[in-house]
Each structure stands twice: as C-alpha cells, then as structure tokens.
Amino acid sequence: MLYRIIYSVITVVAAWAIKRWVADELINKFTIKLKVEPHTATPIKKIFAVVIYLIAFFLLLGVWGLQGTLTGVLAGAGIAGIVIGLAIRDIASDLLAGIILFFDHPFKIGDAIVLGDVGGQVLDIGLRSTKIKTWDGVFVTLPNNKVYSGIVKNYTKYDRRRLEIVVGVDYDSNLDTVQEAITRALNREDVPILKDPAPIVALENLSASSIDFKVLFWYSYDVGMPWITLRGKLIQVIVEEFKRENITIPFPQVTISSRMDSMSPKEII
C-alpha cells in the first residue's frame, strides 16, 4: 500500500513537472522560433497537458490494479459510448477544425474579418469556437467547423486596400471634362489616397439615365481614417468638382413618346 501511494504521488508530480517544465517550455520555444501568435500556443499547451495527464492516469490504474475494472466498464459502456460519440460528433469536428485553424492562422486576434453574414473584430480563437465583436457591438460565437469550412475575408491582413466608386453623369456631358474633374478630385490634398498604385478612372456602363464612370483607388490603414469615411470624402470632393464644371448628375428618368401623330385615323379608331 505504501509503495502504491508513493508511486502515485511520484507519478502525479512527474506528470505536472513534465507538463510545466518540458511541454510548456518546448512549445514556447517552438512558437517563438516559428513566429507563431501567442494565442496559438495556449490551446496547444492544453492538448499536450491532456495527453500527459491521460498517460499518468493509466499508469495509476496499473499501480492500483484497476486496469481490468476499467476495461470491463468500457466494454459494458460500448453502446453508450456510440450514442455519446454521435452526440459529440459536432464538438469533435469543431475541436479538429480549431487545431487546423491554429496552424493555418488565416486571422489573428484583433483582425477585422467577415465570415458569411457575420463581420467584426476577432476577440478570441479557442479550441471549439471563435469569438467576434461585430461592427455594431454584438458578441458572436462561431463554431470553428463553420469558420474553417467557410470563406473568410480578412480586411487587416494587408496594410492597404482598394475601393471603388461608380459615378453617373448626364448623357449631354463632355466626357473628357468629366474625367478631368474626377482626376482633380483624386489629386486633392485633403483626400488621403495612395498615388501608387495610381487611381483609375474609366467608363464602365451606359445605363438607362446616365453614363457611368468607375473610380478605383487604393488607401492605407495608416491614414487614420475609416474606409467608409474616406470613401464619403472622395464622393464629396467629386460633387464639388462637378458643380464647378456644371456637370449634371442625373436623376432616374423615363422618356415617354407618343405615336398618335404617326397613326392613321383608322388605327386610332
């Protein structure tokens, strides 16, 4: 009995020491060497801890002679295990997807992402779920299985982004004058867009009531202005330049023609 107690204490202490001083230290060195995000190391440590403590648990069963009892219990719980396995299938899928996300790292904590119809800032990446604070301040938990299998848009992966604006002008407008006015708006000092890559102004479409120009431009997150604010600022200066050149932005309109004058009296009757 004394031997079993001493062996059990040594096993528990050894398992704790291996987890604390070996596994954790190795994982820390591994993550630093590979420049892995700090939040990624925590779930990996938990996985190694579970494995180490399970090994210690089975060693203790051997010391106390309970392996046969455990085998009988597991055999008798076979049907229950199948039922439980089916019940936790989704949980296991989320855990596996979480492990894959840690190594794939398509985003990190603090990134602005969009997944399906959910968009916001990443708060936490766990083994089973990813937590997001949406643009309107709502806390959302997404199962990692859906995150991994879905299309993720990461808006902060790179430090610059391209935006576009479609501007419609009247059919009577001088197109060269329109293009020059838009170019002047893009070159104004109070519009902090990037000059490299250079913005593009191009005719896009002949719509029902207007001739449409597409304006493509790049901006950097370093400007300290939200993209929607910058886009609105550019629209404002384009309107100002159009007013200076008397360029008309048309309203939707429909032209109604009459055939009465061209119809014969017989057709009218």
Provide the CATH number for the domain around residue 216: 3.30.70.100
- Higher pLDDT, residue 23 or 227: 227
Q: Which residue has the higher pLDDT, 240 or 99?
A: 240
Report if residue 33 sits inside a domain. Answer: yes
The answer, yes or no, to whether residue 115 has pLDDT greater than 60, is yes
> What does the block give as tokens for 51?
């494995």
pLDDT (0 to 100) of residue 49: 78
Of these ranges, 75-89, 180-194, 246-260, the one predicted with the greatest mean pLDDT is: 180-194
Contact by Cβ (8 Å): 244, 181? yes
252 vs 73, residue with greater confidence? 252
Residues 198, 219 share a domain: yes
Please tell me the predicted confidence (pLDDT) of residue 264: 55
Closest to 106 (Cα-Cα) out of 160, 149, 48, 162: 149
The verdict on 201 and 137 lying in the same domain is no
pLDDT of residue 262: 57
For residue 88, is it within any domain? Answer: no
pLDDT number for residue 240: 92
Q: Is residue 90 part of a domain?
A: no
Q: Dump strand ranges (E) for 78-159.
A: 112-115, 118-125, 129-134, 139-143, 152-154
List the one residue out of 127, 115, 133, 132 whose CA is nearest residue 40: 127
Does residue 225 register a pLDDT over 60?
yes
Beta bridge partners of 166: 214
Per-residue confidence band for 3, with pLDDT thresholds at 50, 70 and 90: confident
Q: Does residue 149 share a domain with residue 128?
A: yes
Q: Are residues 120 and 52 in the same domain?
A: no
Q: How confident is the model at residue 268 (pLDDT cuts 50, 70, 90)?
A: very low
pLDDT tens digit string along 33-86? 666 666 666 666 777 777 777 788 877 777 766 655 555 555 555 554 554 454
pLDDT at 267 over 80: no
With respect to residue 93, please indicate whether it lies within any of the assigned structural domains. no
Lowest mean pLDDT among 50-54, 56-60, 96-100, 185-189: 96-100
Note whether 45 and 68 are same-domain residues. Answer: yes
Report the C-alpha gap between 135 and 119 in whole angstroms: 7
Q: pLDDT: is 46 or 121 the higher one? A: 121
Which helix H or strand E contains 215, and what residues bound it?
A: strand 211-220
Name the average pLDDT for the chain: 78
The whole domain housing 47 covers 2-76
The pLDDT score that the predictor gives to residue 254 is: 64
How confident is the model over 131-177, as pLDDT tens digits?
A: 999 989 999 988 888 888 888 899 888 888 899 999 999 998 899 99
Number of domains in the chain: 3
Q: What is the pLDDT of residue 209?
A: 84
